[in-house]
Amino acid sequence: MSIAELSKNFHAEHRGNCAMSVAYGYARATGKSEAEAVATAEMFRNFGGGKAPNGSCGALYAAKMMQPDHADAIKNFFKRGAQNFTKCSEIRPNKIIPCNRCVELAGEALDFLNQ
């Protein structure tokens, strides 16, 4: 299963916030066990709901932390799918895309890098 699918499912099942969901999806898709993936997700518990550094979307923040050497490429990929926005405070209140789509989009950016 892709990072995007794993992340989106974790989020849809209400198992974690947007940042946790992307971290979980990345961990599972890259061979970590369920327990390891949940532990990885827990490291991002405090970064959902606009609490990521600089108000960034938590899903985007987690994706960049999973692949820090490709942070700029991830951000650019995400911006294309989020009408050029990257901050939770811009995306959520203006209903640019729903949170679950942010999670999926961040996962898609990671999937694209792993091709």
pLDDT of residue 99: 94
| Chain segment 76-108, per-residue pLDDT in tens | 999 999 999 999 999 999 999 999 999 999 999
**Of the candidates 31, 39, 37, the residue with the CA atom closest to the CA atom of residue 9:** 37
* pTM summary value: 0.96
pLDDT of residue 100: 95
Confidence of residue 115 (pLDDT cuts 50, 70, 90): confident
Q: Which pair of tokens denotes residue 88?
A: 């939770």
CA geometry: angle 107, 67, 19, nearest 5 deg: 50
Section 14-42 average pLDDT: 97
* Domain membership of residue 90 as a residue range: 3-113
In the numeric block, the tokens 């369920």 are attached to 34
| Chain segment 46-67, per-residue pLDDT in tens | 999 999 999 999 999 999 999 9
Residue 114 pLDDT exceeds 90: no
What is the residue-wise DSSP string for 16-43? S-HHHHHHHHHHHHTT--HHHHHHHHHT
Domain count, the chain: 1
How far, in Å, CA of 49 to CA of 92, rounded? 9
